Amino acid sequence: MALDGGILAGLVRPGARIALADGCGSPRAAYPLLSALARERGDLRLITGWLPGPADGLELDAFADARTVMPGWGLRSAAEAGHIHAVPARLAAMPALLAGPLRPDVLVVAAAPGPVGPVLGAEVSWVRAVIDLGVPVAVVLDPDLPRAAAGPPLPDEQVFVLGDAPGGPYAPAPAATPSAEHEAIGRHVAGLLTDGVRLQWAPGTLGAAVVDGVRAAGVRVHADSGLLGDGVVTLDEAGLLLSDPVATYLVGTPALYAWADARGRAGHPVVHRIEHTHEPSRLAAEPPLIAVNTAVEVDLDGQVNVEGTRNALVGGIGGHPDYAAAAARSTRGLSVIAVASQHRGRSTRVEHLSRPVTTAAHDVDVVVTEHGPADLRGLDRAERRRALDAVFPG
């Protein structure tokens, strides 16, 4: 069944702002419809979040205004070319932005068919916050999406089905095999953990190394992260998960999506709305939160930049400061920055960050490189610098 562009056109008034659901389950089949409508109207605006896959068919320059709060991966080149504005906001602020200055008029989302109506699949993110505003919801039905999301079906009175587009969520290439430096970092991070902690880790190669370290150490954890990749399946298969995992996005291989689908159908949904996953008081409460995030750069005092280098955009702010701040507040918790001491022959510790601070030094407890951990807690500025010197030699 082809998507019905007439239905979408009927929902979009002149000058409307359209919210495009993000994540691996973003409605890619609707991108050409959105682009064609934007070119025809000339005055439409777009707001979206994190698009990890190629944005093929999404012609951002067709919109009068396009904005994202998470330009990483799929939107890097568009942001650098000026086709979309990267709004510097933490992910936890997205629902407030969408209820206020970036309030949309229409939501376009992919959903799986459910017994009593369409249901969200591989992510919830900020989509529930937009649905709660009462705006029309243009739905692309995808039966291949996992039934991984918590929450009720989409409200029938707001739903307008554009058609069916099977295909399932985007599956990025598996993370590269961890280097020796990453493996050492993973072991050092695992050495900071004790049974029963709540663990958040970043996706990608370094995240895979952290999971390998946790598995090798046999530490049992509660998985609670903004993004969950295949590493959570590894921990589950090793019997190291102590509770139902929590995330707002899934990003990984078909094996991850099948695992999450099975859990959701069994009444144990993995993905939840941002207001739950990134809520600071919940994260800072028991069990202790160990947040393991990475960095593009760390400055002399431990301030962190994750947005990019001087010459290239790498990503967005995302949930980095949300989890770091919560972990720093968590009794017996830790806010950990895990990063190789060098990247392409250059130190990742710099005198001055290339871009604005993503996460403040006071929300960083421990910095881990392949040379070991630098515990910064309780140290003054000079002592912090000396501690960091030891893990960034040279």
Q: Which token pair is 151?
A: 């929450």
d(CA 394, CA 382): 17
Instruction: Give the pLDDT score at 1.
Output: 58
Single pTM value for the model: 0.95
Q: Which token pair is 46?
A: 């777009």
pLDDT tens across the length of the chain (394 residues): 589 999 999 999 999 999 999 999 999 999 999 999 999 999 999 999 999 988 999 999 999 999 999 887 889 999 999 999 999 999 999 999 999 999 999 999 999 999 999 999 999 999 999 999 999 999 999 999 999 999 999 999 999 999 999 999 999 988 888 999 999 999 999 999 999 999 999 888 999 999 999 999 999 999 999 999 999 999 999 999 999 999 999 999 999 999 999 999 999 999 999 999 999 999 999 999 999 999 999 999 999 999 999 988 888 999 999 999 999 999 999 999 999 999 999 999 999 999 999 999 999 999 999 999 999 999 999 999 999 999 999 7
Instruction: Give the pLDDT score at 53.
Output: 87
Instruction: Give the pLDDT score at 71.
Output: 84
Instruction: Give the pLDDT score at 176.
Output: 85
- Give 371-376's long-range contacts (Cβ < 8 A, gap of 24+): 371/184, 371/341, 372/188, 373/188, 373/191, 373/192, 373/336, 376/302
Contact 366, 192 (CB under 8 A): yes
For 356-394, letters b (16+ CB in 10 Å) and e give eebbebebbbbbbbbbebbebeeeeeeebeebbeebbee
Contact 226, 245 (CB under 8 A): no
Contacts with 250 (C-beta within 8 Å, 6 or more apart), sequence order: 23, 24, 25, 122, 123, 146, 148, 169, 227, 228, 229, 256, 257, 260, 270, 271
Distances (CA, A) of 172 to 53, 74, 256: 7, 11, 11
Q: How far apart are the first and last CA of the chain?
A: 61
Q: Which amino acid is at 385?
A: R
Instruction: Give the pLDDT score at 174.
Output: 84
Pick the closest to residue 337 from 287, 286, 388 (CA basis): 388
Contact 282, 272 (CB under 8 A): no
